């Protein structure tokens, strides 16, 4: 029996998802936001390149016309020092995005000049660069000048922006009045994007110092919670998310993050998760990730219609969201036994996010259950390429090899036990693995 937790649902599930009605608003533009090239600046100022990317992300999150592709999906491209036109095109293709936002920074006569650029995909004709008017940022006015950049990009990309939307974007892109606090925040975000224990611990230090510099820095509280969550510091993460909601009850991201925490809680706090996701959606109706979370929570409660409706909305607001396809892959196979639909959903999730370990695990388990052992081994092996200590993939690989190569299965069980025996949460699974190992060894001797 495989270890992936599946959603057990009741009732019938529609095979497709609703498409927007004729005359509905255009689908949102999928954008990838890259740090600006700051190589021309002094070393102590180069953080501004990442800082602009962070402000663009905060501002564009306020507009329904944009869907942001997480930069974590670009890790396979490395960390180029400068994202020029060639790098932006590579990022566009890798992220399956419509537009890449990037640029560079330079000093002219002692004044900082921001040179924004964009690269827009044009169907089969390739990509088209778009230059935007240079933005001077006099000393002491950096954050104020940058706050209008998200709306400037939106208009340059011919996305309609109302006065109210422009106001929300500008306020979001000016999250603190302290340039020192924002510098620490930008540095912390840059470090955390590299992944890894050491990098995340460094990010915790930088973000905590950002909060010391400005205790009202709502976004920094939330970002610190995200890093704590990544490090497994569940209670510290929750404390930061709640601090964010107390400082700004209209900021939806921490409510969505709390929903995620409720979903993963040992006591199965699905009602609380529904409440948290619903609050995030109330604050930002086009918050696609919150709709996905709401769908997952309702599915876990057995509310099929509610789950499907949430997933449909998520796809309307973000057609390239891999989490929706991942969730649909689970539902199709766990409840209805729809092999082809499940495989296609998992493959679409992987196409959109090649680093999705959960989608690869789900696809591997569907293959395994259908007796397609070679394909299952391939998916589990890819998981281990991305995370060499993924105990779920190790365990499942050992199970599959029992069916095709007992000697290799022995080696796989020994490797799993070596890694998992150090983890308290794996104790019961390790006991089962030892039983498998003893049985296999006795069979091989015979």
Q: CB–CB of 329/359 below 8 Å?
A: yes
In a domain, 117, yes or no: yes
Q: Give the pLDDT of residue 81.
A: 58
What is the SS3 string spanning 334-346? HHHCCHHHHHHHH
Q: Shortest CA distance to 430 belongs to which of 395, 381, 384, 379? A: 395
pLDDT confidence of residue 292 = 94
In a domain, 341, yes or no: no
Distance between CA atoms of 417 and 380, rounded to whole angstroms? 17
Percent of the chain, pLDDT > 90? 72
CA distance 307 to 60: 27
Distance from C-alpha of 256 to C-alpha of 276, rounded to nearest angstrom: 6
Burial of 162 (0-12, 13-18, 19+ CB in 10 A): exposed
pLDDT over 80 at 77, yes or no = no
Q: Spell out the residues 6+ positions from residue 129 whose beta carbon is closer than 8 angstroms to its own.
A: 85, 117, 118, 119, 120
Residue 132 falls within a domain, yes or no?
yes
The pair of structure tokens assigned to 336 is 């209805």
Running DSSP on this structure, what letter comes out for residue 77?
A: G
Count the domains in the chain.
Answer: 1
Categorize the per-residue pLDDT at 446 as very low, low, confident or very high, splitting at 50, 70 and 90: low
CA 425 to chain centre: 25
Of the pLDDT bands very low, low, confident and very high (cuts 50, 70, 90), residue 20 is very low
Residue 21 has pLDDT above 60, yes or no: no
Mean pLDDT of the residues in the chain: 89
Residues in the chain: 446
Q: Is 61 helix (H, G, I), strand (E, B) or coil?
A: coil
Beta bridge pairs of residue 67: 30
- pTM summary value: 0.81
Using only C-alpha atoms, the chain has a radius of gyration, in whole angstroms, of: 23
Residue 251 domain-assigned? yes
Is 185 a domain residue?
yes
Residue-wise burial string across 38-64, b where 16 or more C-beta atoms lie within 10 A, e elsewhere = beebeeebbbbbbbbbbbbbbbbbbbb
Q: pLDDT value at position 124?
A: 60
Cα distances (angstroms) measured from residue 223 to each of 112, 159, 170: 27, 28, 19
CA separation for the pair 257, 371 (Å, rounded): 37
Residues 365/378, Cβ–Cβ less than 8 Å? no
Residue 57 inside a domain? The answer is yes
Q: 386 with 354: CB under 8 angstroms?
A: no
Read off the pLDDT of residues 152-192 as tens digits, 9 standing for 90 and up.
999 999 999 999 999 999 999 999 999 999 999 999 999 99
pLDDT given at position 79: 62
∠ CA 231-235-240 to the nearest 5 degrees? 85
Question: Is residue 67 classed as helix, strand or coil in its secondary structure?
Answer: strand
Domain extent, residue 137, equals 29-264
Q: Tell me which residue of 113, 106, 119 sits closest to 156, measured CA to CA.
A: 119
* Residue that is written with structure tokens 């921001």 in the block: 114
Q: What distance in Å separates the CA atoms of residue 315 and residue 359, rounded to the nearest whole number?
A: 17
What digits encode the pLDDT tens for the residues 188-217?
Answer: 999 998 888 999 999 999 999 999 999 999
Please write the tens of the pLDDT for every residue from 252-271: 999 999 999 999 988 889 99
Confidence of residue 281 (pLDDT cuts 50, 70, 90): very high
Whether the per-residue pLDDT at 437 is higher than 80: the answer is yes
Average pLDDT (365-379) is 96
Q: What is the Cβ-side half-sphere exposure of residue 138, based on CA atoms within 13 angstroms?
A: 1
To which H or E segment does residue 114 belong?
A: strand 111-121
What is the CB neighbour count within 10 angstroms for residue 424?
Answer: 6
Residue pLDDT, tens place only, 88-134: 888 888 888 899 999 999 999 889 999 999 999 887 657 888 879 99
Cα 424 to Cα 408: distance, rounded to the nearest angstrom: 26
pLDDT at position 11 is: 34
**pLDDT, tens digit (0-9, with 9 covering 90-100), for 321-362:** 888 999 889 888 887 788 999 999 999 999 988 889 999 999
Instruction: Copy the structure tokens of residue 76.
Output: 């396979």
Tokens standing for 210? 């950002």
Question: Does the residue 99 lie in any domain?
Answer: yes
Q: What is the CATH number of the domain that holds 84?
A: 1.25.40.10
For 234-299, the DSSP string reads HHHHHHHHHHHHHH-TT--HHHHHHHHHHHH-TT--HHHHHHHHHHHHHH-TT-HHHHHHHHHHHH
Whether 363 is covered by a domain: the verdict is no
Residue 409: pLDDT band with limits 50, 70, 90:
very high
- CB-CB contact of 103 with 117 (8 Å): yes
- Could you tell me where the beta strands, DSSP code E, fall in 122-246? 127-131, 135-137
């Amino acid at each position: 029996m495989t270890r992936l937790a599946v959603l057990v649902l009741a009732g019938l599930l529609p095979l497709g998802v609703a498409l927007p009605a004729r005359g509905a608003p255009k689908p949102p533009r999928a954008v990838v936001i890259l740090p600006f090239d700051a190589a021309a600046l002094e070393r102590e100022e180069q953080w501004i390149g990442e800082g602009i990317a962070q402000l663009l992300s905060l501002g564009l999150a306020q507009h329904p016309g944009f869907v942001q592709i997480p930069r974590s999906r670009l890790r396979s491209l490395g960390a180029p020092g400068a994202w020029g036109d060639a790098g932006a095109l590579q990022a566009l293709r890798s992220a399956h995005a419509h537009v890449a936002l990037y640029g560079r920074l330079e000093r002219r006569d002692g004044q900082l000049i921001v040179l924004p650029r964009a690269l827009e995909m044009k169907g089969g004709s390739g990509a088209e660069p778009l230059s935007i008017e240079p933005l001077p940022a006099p000393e002491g006015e950096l954050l104020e000048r940058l706050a209008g950049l998200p709306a400037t990009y939106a208009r340059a990309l011919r996305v309609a922006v109302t006065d109210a939307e422009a106001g929300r974007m500008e306020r979001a892109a000016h999250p603190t009045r302290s340039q020192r606090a924002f510098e620490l925040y930008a540095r912390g975000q840059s470090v955390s994007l590299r992944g890894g224990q050491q990098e995340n611990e460094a990010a915790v230090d930088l973000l905590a110092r950002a909060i010391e510099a400005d205790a009202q820095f709502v976004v920094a509280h939330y970002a610190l919670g995200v890093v704590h969550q990544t490090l497994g510091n569940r209670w510290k993460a929750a404390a930061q998310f709640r601090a964010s909601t107390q400082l700004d009850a209209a900021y939806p991201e921490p409510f969505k993050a709390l929903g995620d925490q409720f979903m993963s809680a040992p006591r199965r706090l699905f009602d609380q998760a529904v409440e948290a996701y619903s609050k995030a959606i109330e604050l930002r109706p086009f918050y696609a990730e919150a709709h996905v979370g709401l769908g997952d929570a309702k599915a876990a409660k057995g509310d099929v219609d509610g789950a499907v409706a949430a997933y449909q909305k998520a796809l309307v607001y973000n057609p390239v969201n891999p989490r929706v396809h991942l969730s649909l892959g689970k539902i199709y196979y766990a409840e209805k036994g729809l092999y082809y639909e499940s495989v296609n959903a998992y493959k679409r999730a992987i196409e959109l996010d090649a680093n999705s370990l959960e989608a690869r695990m789900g696809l591997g388990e569907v293959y395994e259950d259908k007796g397609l052992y070679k394909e299952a081994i391939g998916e589990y092996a890819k998981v281990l390429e991305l995370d060499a200590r993924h105990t779920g993939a190790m365990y499942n690989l050992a199970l599959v090899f029992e069916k095709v190569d007992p000697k290799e299965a022995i080696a796989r069980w020994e490797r799993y036990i070596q890694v998992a025996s150090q983890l308290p949460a794996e104790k019961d699974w390790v006991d089962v693995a030892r039983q498998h190992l003893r049985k296999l060894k006795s069979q091989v001797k015979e």
